[in-house]
Chains A and B, each alone.
Chain A
Amino acid sequence: MANVRLDKVTKQFGAHTAVRDLSLDIADGEFFVLLGPTGAGKTTILRLIAGLDKPTAGRIVLGGEDMSDWTVAQRDVALVFQYYSLYPRYTVRQNLEFPLKSKVHSYSRAEIDERIERASKILRISHLLERKTDRLSGGEMQRVAIGRAIVREPRVFLMDEPLSNLDAKLREALRAELKDLQMKLGGTFLFVTHDQIEAMSMGDKVGVLNDGQIAQVGTPQEIYNRPRDTFVATFVGSPAMNLVPGDLAGGKVTAIDGKLVVPVNGHAGSAQAGGVTLGFRSEDIRVGPDEATEAVVHDVENHGVEQIVTLRIGGHLVKATVPANVPVTVESKVRFGVDAAKVHCFDAKTGVNLTAG
């Protein structure tokens, strides 16, 4: 296993820049999740690390060695593709054997069998070994694809949205399994996804990617509680963080035509007065008769244990998480307030978070 370092990597496809001057450090044995919307350059980064594409500029360092000029085979990484890429016409066993039969290893028959047995036991596919790959379900194919990665000991595991083609139940199960697998193997995992729940639940560290650049790197808690800018704030968390334009003056932000007034802490208080974007998460909204701001219930979305209520204040819509036992009806009037300790203040122009902590 090894650590991975990307050093000012840029990748251009013609006029299009997929990855822009990106630097990233992934520690040995870390489960690193790269999170970003479609087209942010996630897959490109994986392909650059794997060696399937060459960076236009910058270095890729693996285990302390610059491997920018290495071939795919020399890099010795495992890549699980989004579309599995199992070898057709072969059985599961033959697919798992494939990486072991490479000339670089020269494993004995007994060792190959032992490795396949171990991997298939971990992934619970032992009963499928003699089956042809086209007779497998999506979840089974995905396990085989992961199995092909773990039968050998690659220096890094790269996974390209491996769960995105599965149904919700299976995705949840495999999420836990993958995390478990990583703990067992102690390997360096770089997992790419556009699903923020996957990122939050699996990652030791999460890197949020926006338009080929890293927006923020941190633990899931840091990303969630201290988003560096409005992009991270809205991309991570469901429902997305509420953002309303406001004015900062005297340690207070006045928003929504003066209807919502929130004191802000940290250095934002000392920041220059003027236009800001006020951000707060739906669960930091309190709904009750004694609260300061009046709103109209625009929409109610029932999620079982809780309900997501969309509130309308003037022309603004704000989402609030309300316990399921609180009765709310559409178009009724309610009062709400925001937890002042949890609000964020973003620069109205750059979107950078002005609130510390």
Chain B
Amino acid sequence: MERSFETEIELLRLGAGETFRGEGILAITKALLQSGVSYVGGYQGAPVSHLLDVLVSARDLMGEMGIHVESCANEASAAAMLAASINYPVRGAVTWKSIVGTNVASDALSNLASTGVTGGALIVIGEDFGEGASVIQERTYAYAMKSAMLLVDPRPNLGAMVDMVEHAFALSEASHMPAMMQLRIRACHVQGEFTARDNVKPAHGTNAKFREPADFFYPRLAHPPVIYAQEVNKVSERIPAARAYIREHGLNDRIAGGKPSRLGLVIQGGLYNTVMRQLGEMGLSDENGTPDIDILCLNVTYPLVPEELIAFARDKDRVLVVEEGNPAYMEQQMLRMTVDAGLATRIDGKNYLPEAGEYTGEVLAAGLGRYFLENGGNILDLDAIRRRMERMEKVRAAAGALLEAPLPPRQPTFCTGCPERPVFGAIKLAERTVGKVHVSADIGCHAFGTFAPFNQGNSILGYGLSLASMAAVTPMQERRSLAIMGDGGFWHNGMQTGVASNLYNKGDGVLIIMNNGYTSATGQQVIPSSKHSEIFGTGAKIATTLEAMGVKWLRTVRTYSVETMVATLKEAFTTTQKGLKVIIADGECMLARQRRERSEKAQALKEGRRVEQAKFGVDAEVCTGDHSCIRLSGCPSLGVADNPDPLRKDPIAEVKQDCVACGLCGEMAHAAVLCPSFYRAARIHNAGWFERTLHRIRTRVIGAMAGAA
């Protein structure tokens, strides 16, 4: 993992009455322990990686509590893990990033939701939606509806989130429905505080094992004929039970407005703060969240509770549903409910607010403002609303007119020293002789290869799916196609979906597997083939796995050996040998390597041992300012500087101080026959007397020669 979690683990041990101060996702982790979970698992992905990372690091605490922790191979295995709660009265929680993770998990989820659960089952969903999102923008809500799972969307403050975790388990048990709790990115990263409760040791767990397995009980299988009964049971028993619990425990917040307005807002819990801020700015609420108009804040967004909604809507002329994303599932359900109840209340929603996209403050200000101006009558202070909207418009116009041309984007990119970056340079070079090839990209750090300066990739279809997604492309191309996959993606899905399927179908094409040892993009979690892990891992080898599967053409190339990589790529693209050609691109994630080496180096320096500290440099006079090195390497450490030569204007390349001397500059200069301006210089700490003497002689001789040049 990218960081250590000692302080976080301390927070997990807090007892009743103590104040927890920290990040949202960590508060959720603490809430799981307070809820008496017996097992936890999941698959990493922003913004919930942290949850699993911390639990994995807290194995001492987990051991004391008797909680089983599993780092799952993918979301499908995480979802399947919840099966423990079908037969046994144990609470379990798993986590992943949605919508992508939910998609991967959906087979297991459907079956789980069909049989229903005995012990509370909770999925903590990192809702990767809106600004900073890295996946397709779809709603998790559809899964809740189609499979009859609970969807909890708590107000984004730590106290509310923690309470809702505990309720979610109880709600799951009361209704036998698995629960999902969706947390938006900002809620996961929010820094706040809440008053802790004691952790609860589960009644059953690794310290208190079941003597016997559960009795054979056919209705708990997702298998015909009981599936038909389960389908009916969802609507006849489970959803009503859930609604009863939600009502009885007041999980949704009805906030009474201070003014006798006949308008109301129904909002998702996760949007509460953003909505309240805009009401405040329009003069419709004070800073502590006391609004002028009635609000129904839904911390559970599925199932909706008709009694609650009808009671809320009954005495109103209009109700606006503030529901982020498309389609407007809640709004549609509300429309139906009001019709069934025979209410004349008008339901608004996407007619005032955008159909798609994140509901930011600006978006809500515009939509709510228009709504209140058109429908607020003489009860609300329309002037204040109008002033707010005018100012927002003014700010927007001024910002739009500020610049003549839009600023260049600053996308994430491969780190300094990243071993994956050289591969994309090598592909660029190989294409100079082979010609352009179709590139099937994948999820992972290597997806940065789609950005400048590489701009490689024709499709991204999902995690580990690059090879599978070119199955029908390769047979229709003159040149072989190239799939790029990470080792994380290989173990997650790519081995079966890609490699097995390709071999089975006698496919052709080239597959590069980036073997860096971790799922790096999500913060360096270990995978089956990780070499450096004290906790998980089996030492599985990708090469032997591929051989066993029947891959005949297999090469392992160190990623920094650009020339070898170029030659291997060329061979793979042009060989007459049919069948899948796999290149394992070997190079450990530089962040992980650096962290290891940094401590080793510091130790060596402390002990007075000889240490080399290298970096690359550019001879300013030799560089002509063409920047082809940057276009081929794309290293963040490779910048440009003003040309010191008064005769030249174009800036020259420079190697910044954060260079880690990965060696790519030199390799690239060779492989691409770039230019001789790069050099590698190493400072020697604690050199011995022999080296020092030799250096003195060298300096004298070289100095004399240089002087004579």
Is B a genuine binding partner of A? no
Which B residues fall within an 8 A CB radius of A? none
